[in-house]
Amino acid sequence: MKTIFFGTPEFAVSTLEKLLSHPSFEVLAVVTQPDKRRERGNKLTPSPIKSLALTYNLPIWQPSRIKKDEETLTKLRESGADAFVVVAYGQILSQEILDMPKLGCINVHGSILPYYRGAAPIQWCLYNGEKETGITTMLMDAGMDTGAMLKKVTTSIGLLDNAHTLASRLATLGADLLVDTLISLKNNQIEPVAQDNEKATYAPLIKKEDYKIDWTKSALALHNQIRGFYPNCTTSFRNQPLKITVTIPVSTTHPIDLPEEYKSILDKVPEQSENAKPGEVVSIIKGMGALVQTGDGMLLLLEVQPSGKRPQSGWDFVNGTRLNIGEVLSAEC
Q: How do beta strands 298-306 and 312-313 pair?
A: antiparallel
Task: Report yes or no on 163 lying in a domain.
Answer: yes
Question: Mean pLDDT throughout 179-190?
Answer: 96
Question: Mean pLDDT throughout 37-59?
Answer: 90
Could you list the residue range(s) of the whole structural domain that residue 144 is in? 2-203
Q: 65 with 149, same domain?
A: yes
> What is the model's pLDDT at position 273?
64
| Region at 268 (left for phi over 0; alpha for psi -120 to 50; beta for the rest) | alpha
- What single-letter DSSP state applies at residue 204? P
Q: 141 with 218, same domain?
A: no
Which of 173, 203, 233 represents a domain boundary (last residue)?
A: 203
Q: How do beta strands 43-45 and 83-87 pair?
A: unpaired
Counting the structural domains of the chain, the total is 2
Structure confidence by residue, pLDDT tens digits, 268-294:
777 766 789 999 999 999 999 999 999
How far, in Å, CA of 220 to CA of 226, rounded? 10
Task: Report yes or no on 80 lying in a domain.
Answer: yes
Residue 182: CATH number of its domain: 3.40.50.170
64: nearest Cα among 97, 31, 41, 106 = 31
Task: Report yes or no on 195 lying in a domain.
Answer: yes
Are 181 and 137 spatial neighbours (Cβ–Cβ below 8 Å)? Answer: yes
Residue 257: CATH number of its domain: 3.10.25.10
Interacting residues of 327 by C-beta distance below 8 A, sequence separation 6+: 237, 238, 280, 281
Structure confidence by residue, pLDDT tens digits, 126-149:
999 999 999 999 999 999 999 999
Structure confidence by residue, pLDDT tens digits, 106-121:
999 999 999 999 999 9
66: nearest Cα among 105, 14, 38, 120 = 105
> What is the model's pLDDT at position 267?
80
- What single-letter DSSP state applies at residue 212? B
